[in-house]
Chain A
Amino acid sequence: NAGVTQTPKFRILKIGQSMTLQCTQDMNHNYMYWYRQDPGMGLKLIYYSVGAGITDKGEVPNGYNVSRSTTEDFPLRLELAAPSQTSVYFCASSYLAGVYEQFFGPGTRLTVL
Chain B
Amino acid sequence: KQEVTQIPAALSVPEGENLVLNCSFTDSAIYNLQWFRQDPGKGLTSLLLIQSSQREQTSGRLNASLDKSSGRSTLYIAASQPGDSATYLCAVKFNQAGTALIFGKGTTLSVSS
Report which A residues bind B (CB closer than 8 A).
31, 33, 35, 40-45, 48, 50, 58-59, 90, 92, 94, 97-99, 101-107, 109
Q: Evaluate contact between A106 and B42: CB separation under 8 angstroms.
A: yes
Q: Evaluate contact between B100 and A90: CB separation under 8 angstroms.
A: no
Report which B residues bind A (CB closer than 8 A).
4, 31-32, 34, 36, 41-44, 46, 49, 51-52, 89, 91, 93, 98-106
Main secondary structure of the interface of B (DSSP, over half): strand
Q: Evaluate contact between B100 and A58: CB separation under 8 angstroms.
A: yes
Closest chain B CB from A112 CB (angstroms): 18
Closest chain B CB from A109 CB (angstroms): 7
Please report the C-alpha to C-alpha distance between residue A39 and residue B103 in the assembled complex, in whole angstroms: 13
Cross-chain pairs A/B with CB under 8 angstroms, 24 sampled? A33-B100, A41-B105, A42-B104, A43-B91, A45-B101, A48-B98, A48-B99, A48-B100, A50-B99, A59-B100, A90-B44, A94-B99, A98-B93, A101-B34, A101-B46, A101-B49, A102-B34, A104-B36, A104-B46, A105-B43, A106-B42, A106-B43, A107-B42, A107-B44
Chain A residues near B98 (CB-CB < 8 A):
48, 97
Please report the C-alpha to C-alpha distance between residue A35 and residue B99 in the assembled complex, in whole angstroms: 12
Q: Evaluate contact between B103 and A43: CB separation under 8 angstroms.
A: yes
